Structure 1
Amino acid sequence: MSDVTGKVFLVGAGPGDPGLLTVRGKECLERADVVLYDALSNEVLTEYAPNAEKIFAGKSPDKHMLLQEEINRLLIDLARQGKRVVRLKGGDPFVFGRGGEEALALAENGIPYEVVPGVTAGIAVPAYAGIPVTHRGLSTSCMFITGHDEDLLDEEETDFAHIAVQGTLCFFMGVKNLPTLVKQVIALGRAPETPAAVITWGTLPKQRTIVATLATLEEVCDREKPTPPALVVVGDVVRLHNQLSWFESRPLFGRRVVVTRARAQAAELVRRLYELGADVFEFPTIEIEPAPISEPFDYIGTYNWVVMTSVNGVEMLFERLEELGQDARDLANVKLCAIGSATAEAVRKRFLNVDLMPEKYVAEDLLTALVQREGELEGKRFLLPRADIARSFLPEELRKRGAVVTELVAYRTVAPKTSDELAEQLAAYRPDLVTFTSSSTARNFAEILGATRLDAVALTAQFASIGPITSKTAAELGMPVTI
């Protein structure tokens, strides 16, 4: 046991959308030694604590379940070891999250703690369904009620009769007891024709909103079969759903998209897809490793052209230059060529201009552009920092024209260690679209999945690629590209 007592942070993770985590919550995760997370907190958020120990403390059929008393004891024990512990809870810790029980246990044992409120599902989930919980002329009050325990729906146990006929009612965990819930709300005076909605997986790309009335809700749900997590909303504000349904109206809403790019480089693509409404499955099929640059290359200022074919090539080259005591000033008289807008942007971030970028992002078009720009290439000196598996077309064609070419293996593209379990999850995911950003992502995707799982994916998925070379590779592997 440590002489210094640690501290526990009861952090609300929000209702599901990782973007709804608070700034303070993110700060706590970044500094955590241990993260205890539950089933309703988005597991993606634990990536903010890359070096912390992660412990699942929720309820899931495929994971060990900790009882509440065990969670309380674990929080106390970890804090007494001097650790900074984040207890990551879905929604807000103090809104049906049992955060109060955990805080009491910590207080009774003299453990320092902090409560970091989270965005509660009771407000955020209806908002993502286009349902404001209050609205002038429709509702001036809102009540959060647990629908998990039938006894709590009894009028003698829960005093909500005085507002049951007017305000907005938000029932957490209400799907299982929906018939009882509906009957008691009507019995307390709410009109059977009152609009009602069941929202499942709120704030996530698989969100679904089922709209009915109190009188028809049970029948509609028997047909639609909503599954937890779900929120039941009752009130006239539900009428606004059709007009204000912004989240479910996004162009890629609900489309299941697989991103095969290296995880370290996939963030921007994942973010853009998510903002368009896609349900993104990250399945990295490559990893980027810096190559041990053993072969020497001349002082960079002696080259006529440096040809950058990828963002990785740009980054690795400048890391190498820094090791050699060189920097952007040594490129003052060198022309720079980039394949692709992302590569060009990486060059510009180094405060350098790109002298040439072909319209099509392939080596063949680059060669044509170089010949048009330079005319004769005889004696011109080219440096090509690139991947170990890059195509040989460009250096070979440059040499045929008399150019002096130095190929620099700046990085290696390797297949990651992907678990068989993750591959099975992908096959069961039934994706609508699989994206490839290079030929190696396509090759490794097919190899990791194997023939049987690849056939299962191809039954539902279209394939998209970054360019013609990658498209050709994918097609040869039985994945014809249509996008």
Structure 2
Amino acid sequence: MREKPRLRVAAFRPADDRLDSAVELLESLGADPVPDPMLAIEPATAVEDSDTGDGDDSDDQVTPRTDADYVVLTSKTGVELAAAAGWDPGEATVCAIGEATAAALHEAGYGVDIIPAEYSSTGLVETLAGPVAGARVEVARSDHGSAVLTDGLEDAGAYVHETVLYRLVRPPESGESAALAADGDLDAALFTSSLTVEHFLDAAAQRGVREAAIDGLNEATVGAIGEPTREAAEAAGISVDVVPDQADFEALACEAVEAAAPSHHE
């Protein structure tokens, strides 16, 4: 067992500026980051979408439909891919699931009309439930989007179409954090989606330490960015200690670090 002068905290964000920001934040909180990306982005192409009748036979990047009354973006990645492919929202009302997605839209030169008070699929449904009745709603996101959003909008009377902009896969090299957890050398883990939970467990299983990693997490502090993520973790036998009121990484990291070692960074 190692000496623990600093908290060792795992972050599972994709290996881009989000992981860089996570590492910087954890270091500012006095923790020792374990950057272990559990998600990698594979952009969808039009040829993959051709069976829906929305694409052609090219390998061009898929974009959100342009004939909708409302367009919903749920991630920074989705915005960046849509912008790179030249998407034009036209007269559609543009909706962002939260501030990070809205910031990405602004950065790409798009306007943002609606951001829900609660940054979640449930929050979007509650915000749009009245206005979208009878309207065409385009939901553009990853292949692992929650049915809460699409089902909720349909229940509200919207005509919903979903476009998969990208797939989320597990990087084959992931799993350092699982090995640390299995050895009792991880103090906290920050799960940012149900899929990061699934991929963490897949990585642990690949290394032959799935049960030991779960045991290690249950001796550590586990943070989940929202209720669906908490539910996925707990269904796998992982106890969740922290679910911040605000569904963003900074809140998750700050609350989990504080829970793991109260005021150690002050």
Q: TM-score range by the shorter chain?
A: 0.7 to 0.9
> 1:428: how far off?
3.2
- 2:258 equivalent in structure 1: none
Partner of 2:106: 348
Does residue 319 of structure 1 match 2:75? no
Q: 1:422 to 1:431 in 2, by over 3 A?
A: closer
CA distance in 2: counterparts of 1:299 and 1:468, whole angstroms: 27
Aligned residues with identical type, % of pairs: 31
Q: In 2 relative to 1, CA 351–425 (structure 1 residues): closer, same or farther, beyond 3 Å? A: same
Contact 1:336 1:355 (8 Å CA) reproduced: yes
- SS of the equivalent of 1:302 reads coil
Structure 1 gap ranges (5+): 1-205, 209-253
Deviation at 1:426, TM superposition (A): 5.0
Q: Is 2:233 the partner of 1:480?
A: no
Contact preservation (8 Å) 1:462, 1:482: yes
Does residue 302 in structure 1 map to residue 67 in structure 2?
yes
- Deviation of 1:399 after TM superposition, in Å, equals 2.8
Q: Distance in 2 between matches of 1:426 and 1:303?
A: 46
Distance in 2, matches of 1:278 and 1:401, equals 44
Q: Does the 8 Å contact 1:308/1:343 carry over to 2?
A: yes
Residue deviations 1:369-406 (CA, integer Å, cap 9, x gap): 0124x1x511x111111111212222233234442222
Q: Is the 8 A contact 1:430 1:460 kept in 2?
A: no
1:258 is matched with 10
In structure 2, what is the equivalent of residue 430 of structure 1? Answer: 185
- Does structure 1 conserve the Cα–Cα contact (< 8 Å) formed by 2:37 and 2:174? no
Equivalents in 1 of 2:75, 2:32: separation in Å? 27
Structure 2 counterparts to residues 165-244 of structure 1, below 5 A: none
User: Residue by residue, what CA displacement relative to the aligned partner does 1:159-204 show, whole Å, maximum 9, x if unpaired?
Assistant: xxxxxxxxxxxxxxxxxxxxxxxxxxxxxxxxxxxxxxxxxxxxxx
C-alpha displacement at 1:459, in angstroms? Answer: 4.7
TM-score, scaled relative to structure 1: 0.43
Deviation at 1:455, TM superposition (A): 3.5
Offset, 1:337: 0.7
The CA deviation at 1:465 is 1.4
CA gap of 1:444–1:281, structure 2 versus 1, over 3 A, is same
Match of 2:183, SS? helix
Kindly name which structure, 1 or 2, has the bigger radius of gyration based on alpha carbons: 1
Cα distance, 1:383–1:417 mapped onto 2, change above 3 Å: same
Secondary structure of the corresponding residue to residue 129 of structure 2 = helix
Counterpart pick for 1:377 among 133, 144, 160: 133
> 1:277 is matched with which residue?
30
SS in 2 for 1:412: strand
Q: Aligned pair in 2 of structure 1 residues 421, 315: CA closer, same or farther (>3 Å)?
A: closer
Counterpart code for 1:406: H
Matched residue of 1:481: which SS? Answer: coil
1:335–1:444 distance in 2 versus 1, CA, 3 Å: same
Q: Which letter maps to 2:114? A: L
Measure the CA separation in 1 of the matches of 2:72 and 2:240.
28
| Partner Cα distance (1:459, 1:399) in 2 | 38
2:91 to 326, 333, 344: 333
| Partner residue in 2 for 1:469 | 228
Partner in structure 2 of residue 411 of structure 1:
166
1:331 alignment partner, SS class:
coil
Deviation per CA, 1:336-377, whole angstroms, max 9, x where unpaired? 1111221111111122232111122221221110124x1x51
Post-superposition CA distance 1:259-307 (Å, at most 9, x none) = 1122223111111111221100112222111122324279854321110
Separation in 1 of the partners of 2:75 and 2:139? 11
Higher relative contact order (CA 8 A, sep 6+): 2
- The one-letter code of the counterpart of 2:74 is T
Aligned length: 222
TM-score (norm 2): 0.75
Contact kept? 2:174, 2:203, Cα under 8 Å: no
Q: Report the counterpart of residue 151 of structure 2 in structure 1.
A: 396
Q: Is the 8 A contact 2:38 2:174 kept in 1?
A: no
Give, in whole Å, the separation in 2 of the partners of 1:368 and 1:390.
17
